[in-house]
């Protein structure tokens, strides 16, 4: 069985943009900034993931957020092709079906080093950073 499901939790990079379409629909566009795990050199890298929605309710949620607010979105990964046949442009994006503000609930500290009131880095405490570390995705379906 094929599956195309995306779940992202990250920060809104800037205000959303809305573009009316000739059909009368409106497409809402934005980017989510998602941190990667630290690389070998210790630098934290991020991905800026383009997202769109055609759903007015989802767009209303996004309009209520400010840049750098945390959000959780679900949707599907899409490849869109634009332009004339001689110069096609391929663009990948997440077509979002639901969005909600994300309030990172901090786990109770088991270790004094995980104390949410502990040392602060980039405006986030140790506990807040731990809550943002990506979790391992469980095995979804057999392959091969």
Q: Which residue has the tokens 């990079």?
A: 13
Nearest partner of 97 among 65, 69, 56, judged by Cα: 56
For the chain, how many helices (H) and strands (E)? 2, 8
Q: What is the pLDDT of residue 87?
A: 87
- Asked whether residue 82 falls in the same domain as residue 133, the answer is no
- Asked whether residue 50 falls in the same domain as residue 78, the answer is yes
- Asked whether residue 127 falls in the same domain as residue 90, the answer is no
Domain boundary among 86, 103, 120: 103
Where in the sequence is the domain holding 14, given as residue range(s)? 6-103
Residue 119 lies in a domain: yes
- Asked whether residue 76 falls in the same domain as residue 134, the answer is no
Q: What is the pLDDT of residue 130?
A: 56
Residue 130 lies in a domain: yes
- Asked whether residue 51 falls in the same domain as residue 97, the answer is yes
- Asked whether residue 85 falls in the same domain as residue 45, the answer is yes
Q: What is the pLDDT of residue 126?
A: 57
This prediction's pTM: 0.66
How far apart are the C-alpha atoms of 56 and 59, rounded to whole Å? Answer: 5
How far apart are the C-alpha atoms of 72 and 77, rounded to whole Å? Answer: 15
Instruction: Give how many domains the chain has, as a whole number.
Output: 2
- Asked whether residue 99 falls in the same domain as residue 110, the answer is no
- Asked whether residue 97 falls in the same domain as residue 116, the answer is no
- Asked whether residue 80 falls in the same domain as residue 97, the answer is yes
Q: What is the pLDDT of residue 76?
A: 95
Residue 1 lies in a domain: no
Residue 36 lies in a domain: yes
Nearest partner of 15 among 57, 56, 71, judged by Cα: 71
- Asked whether residue 19 falls in the same domain as residue 76, the answer is yes
Per-residue confidence of the chain (144 residues) as pLDDT tens digits?
889 999 999 999 999 999 999 999 999 999 999 988 776 676 778 899 999 999 999 999 999 999 999 999 999 999 988 888 888 889 999 999 999 998 865 444 444 444 444 454 455 555 555 555 555 554 445 554
Beta strands 120-121; 124-125: pairing state: antiparallel
Beta strands 89-101; 70-82: pairing state: antiparallel
């Amino acid at each position: 069985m094929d599956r195309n499901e995306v779940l992202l939790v990250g920060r809104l990079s800037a205000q959303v943009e809305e573009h009316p379409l000739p059909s009368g629909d409106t497409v809402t566009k934005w980017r989510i900034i998602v941190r990667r795990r630290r690389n070998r050199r210790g630098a934290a890298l991020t991905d800026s993931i383009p997202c769109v929605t055609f759903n007015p309710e989802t767009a209303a949620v996004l309009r209520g957020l400010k840049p750098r607010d945390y959000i959780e979105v679900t949707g599907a990964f899409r490849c869109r092709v634009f332009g004339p046949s001689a110069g096609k442009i391929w663009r990948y994006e997440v077509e979002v079906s639901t969005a909600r503000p994300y309030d990172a609930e901090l786990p109770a500290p088991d270790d004094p080093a995980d104390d949410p009131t502990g040392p602060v880095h980039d405006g986030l405490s140790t506990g807040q950073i731990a809550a943002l570390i990506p979790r391992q995705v469980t095995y979804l379906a057999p392959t091969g």
